[in-house]
Amino acid sequence: MVSPAPIRLLLVDDQALVRGAMGALLELEDDLVVAGEAGDGTTAAAEALRLSPDVCLMDIQMPGADGIAATRAIRTSSPGTRVLIVTTFARPGYLRAALEAGASGFVVKDAPAAQLADAVRRVHAGMRVVDPELAVASLAEGANPLTEREQQVLRLSADGRAVTQIAAEVFLSAGTVRNHLSSAIGKTGASNRAQAARIAREKGWI
C-alpha cells in the first residue's frame, strides 16, 4: 500500500528561531514536511508561487507586507495553498481581517505542537480552524469600525509624526487628515490620537 504524499508546508515568520523551532516540531510528524521558509510577507507570496505548498503557516506582524496582505496575495496567486495564521497576537480584529483575506485558520503560537499539527491537517482537508476563545471574543467585539482611511492615518500617527507629514504621505489635505483622526478617536472612545492608535492596535484594527 502506497503511503499518501506528505503535506508540504511553507513557514512564514520574521524570526528565524521561531521558523526553525516550528519546523523541527512539525517534521516530527510522519505526514508533514517543510518545503520552504520566508521571513516576510513579500517573500512568502513569491515562495508560495514558486513552491505551491499545501499549507502556509503565516505570522501576522512582519516587516514590509504583513501576514494579512501576504495571505491575500497567496490566495490570489497560489489558490491551492491553504493559509493557517499562527501568531502571538490573539486579537479579534486580526482574526476577522485574516479570514476576510482568505485564511483557513487562526491559532496562537503557544498552542501545543500536537494541536498545531492537527490544525494543519484540518486546514489541508478543507476545514476552517479557529481558536475558540478568540472566536468568541471576535463575535463580542464586532466588526472593525474604522474605515480604510482612518486605519491608514491612525497607523501613520502612532509614532507621533505631524499631521502635515501624514497628509503629504497619503496625498490628502491636513484638514482631511485631522477629520479622519478625529473620527477614529471618537470610534475608539479615546481622548487623543496616541490613545486611539493604542486601542486600535490592541483590538487588531490597525
Kindly list the structural domains of the chain, giving each domain's residue range(s) and its CATH number in brackets, ordered by start.
7-140 (3.40.50.2300), 148-203 (1.10.10.10)
Query: C-alpha grid cell for residue 26?
Result: 512539525
pLDDT in tens, 12-45: 999 999 999 999 999 999 999 999 999 999 999 9
Q: What is the mean pLDDT of the chain?
A: 87
Phi and psi at residue 32, to the nearest 5°: -125, 140
Torsion of CA 109, 112, 130, 80, to 10 degrees: 80
Which pTM was predicted?
0.68
Give me the mean pLDDT over the 138-167 stretch: 80
- List pLDDT tens digits, range 60-107: 988 878 899 999 999 998 999 999 999 887 777 788 888 889 999 998
Residue corresponding to grid cell 499518501: 4
